[in-house]
A = this chain, B = another copy of it.
Amino acid sequence: MSEGFLGYKGEALRVLRKVGAEIGDVVRIVKDGETYEGILIPRSEFGDEKHIVIKLKSGYNVGVLIDPTTQIEKVGAGAKPTFMPPPLPEKRPDLPRVSIISTGGTIASRVDYRTGGVRSALSASDLYSVVPELSGVAVVDAHVLFSLYSENIRAEHWSELAKTIAKHIDDGAAGVVVAHGTDTMGYTAAALSFALQSLPTPVVLVGSQRSSDRPSSDAAMNLLGAVRAASKAPFAEVVLAMHESISDTSVVFHRGTKVRKLHTSRRDTFQSVNATPLAKIDGEKITMLTEEYRKRDSTRKLVLKPDFDEKVAFIKFHPGFDPKVIDWYVDEGYRGIILEGTGLGHVSKYSFPAIQKAVRNNVIVAMASQCIWGRVNMNVYDTGRDLLAMGVIPLKDMLSETALVKLMWITGSLTKEPNEVRRLMLTNFAGEISPRSSHT
C-alpha cells in the first residue's frame, strides 16, 4: 500500500480517506444509478480534485465524478494473480540462443492487480511462466533495456537499441526479438532496418494489443512466433511480428520499412503497405511470402550505422495549410522536411515560395503521399512538375513515416552534404522502395 492515495487531492482524497480505500483496493461506486466496481488506480498529476479513477474488470479505466450524490465503498483488496512457477531454463545446447530485448509496451507488461497500472514483466522466468512453450524453442536471454510507452521512444533510443542488438548478434545470438509498444513500433522497425545493415540473422520486433493477463491477449502467440522466427527463420532482415488476422491463427512478419499501424485496437493492426509481408508462421511452420529477401547467413558481418538526426520535420499538407511553418523550420536550422502531400504528390501553389526558399537554403524537401497506398508520380500534373523543377524529391512508394526515419538516418549516420543526401534518399537500403508494380 506504499502508493497510498497517489495523485488524489481535494474532495476526492477526502472521500477516499473517509471510506479507507487506498490505491490497489477494490471499490464500488454508485453514481446516477450506475454501479462501477474496480481497482482504485493512481491519479494523474494533471488530474482534477473531483474524480476517482478505477480500473474495471474489462481492463478499461473509468473516472467517476465525486459529488454529494456519489456513493463509494471499499469492497476489498485487489486479488493478485497466481503465476505458474517458471520451468528452469535448462542447459540445452541443442537449442538456438535468442535474445529478447524489452523496450516496454503492452507486450512487455502485465497489469499489476494491486495498482491497476502496467508493470514490466520481462525477466526470462516471467516469460517462461507466461509462454511455457518458449522453453522448447530456444534458450532465451531476456533483457530490459527501457520501460517506455512507445510514444516516448525517439532517436536516442533507436541508437541505443541498435547498438544493443548488434552486441547480441556479435555475441552469437541466433536472432534477436525486440518487445516494443505498438504505437511507434512501425517507426522503430524502419529505424532498425536502416541502422542494422547487412544483417546475418533476423531481428524481430514484437508487440501486442492486449496485455498478457487479459483473456483476449495476443501477447503469447506473437511472442512465440517472434522467438521461433528469430531462432530458425530463413530470412535475415528487420521484421515486425503481429497477428495476421483478428483470429488466433497465424503471426505475420512484415518488412520493417513497409509496415504501418492501421487500427487503434485490432490485433491485426499492422499491415504491409505497397508490399506483401515477408513471411508468416502458422503453428511451427514458417512460410516465406516472397522470394525477394536477404537470407540468413551467420558468417555475414553486420554493419552498424546507429545515428539519427532529429532535425527533420514532418509536414502533412491540407487545405488552409500555412506555408510560414516551412519558413519556421528553415529558420530553426532543420536539415530536411518530409512533405505528406495529396494524391500523386501535390501541395498548393501558394506553398511554392516557401518550398523554394527551403531548397535554396539547402534544406532537403521530399514528397510522400498522404494517400498511404500507391506511388508518388510528380510528372503527371503541372503541380508535380513545378515541385520537381524546384528540387523536391519524389519518394516513389515509400511510406511517409519510413521516409522521415530514413532522412533522419542519412543525415545522422551517412552524410549531411545536400546533393549526397538527395541521391541516398532514392537509394534502396532496406526494401523501402518497391519496384513499380500493378495497382494492387
Q: Is A246 an interface residue (CB 8 A)?
A: yes
Contact pattern, A 169-193, Cβ under 8 Å of B = 1, otherwise 0: 0000000000000111001100100
Q: Specify how many copies of this chain sit in the oligomer.
A: 2
Q: Is the CB of A386 within 8 A of B349?
A: no
Q: Which of A130-182 contact B (CB under 8 A)?
A: 149-155, 158, 182
Q: Which residues from B are CB-within-8-Å of A439?
A: 246, 263, 265-266
Cα separation A228 to B51 with both chains bound (whole Å): 54
- Knowing A155-B320, A264-B377, A318-B314, say if A383 contacts B350 (CB, 8 Å): no
Closest to A344 in B: B264
Residue A293 is within 8 A (CB to CB) of chain B in the complex: no
- Name, among A263, A346, A383, the residue most crowded by chain B CB atoms within 10 Å (CB to CB): A263
Interface check A47, CB cutoff 8 A: yes
Report Cα–Cα, A374/B316, bound state, in Å. Answer: 20
> Among residues 58 to 83 in chain A, which have CB atoms less than 8 Å away from a CB atom of chain B?
59-63
Q: Does A60 lie within 8 Å of B265, measured CB to CB?
A: no
Given A151-B342, A151-B348, A320-B154, A369-B264 contact (CB < 8 Å): yes
Number of interface residues of A (CB under 8 A): 88
A63 surroundings in chain B (CB, below 8 A) = 379, 385
Binds B, one of A30-38, A86-94, A230-238, A305-313: A305-313
B residues within 8 A CB of A341?
A: 151
Cβ–Cβ < 8 Å partners of A344 in chain B: 264-265
Report yes or no: A372 in contact with B262, Cβ–Cβ below 8 A. yes
B343 contacts A332, CB within 8 Å? no
Which residue on B lies nearest to A53, using beta carbons? Answer: B385
CA distance A53 to B382 in the complex (A): 11
Contact of A371 among B53, B264, B370 (CB under 8 A): B264
Q: Which of B314, B319, B386 contacts A155 (CB 8 A)?
A: B319
Q: Which of A18-26, A247-255, A278-286, A322-330 contacts B (4 or more CB under 8 A)?
A: A322-330
Cα of A154 to Cα of B321 in the assembled complex, Å? 9
Chain B residues with CB under 8 A of A345: 264
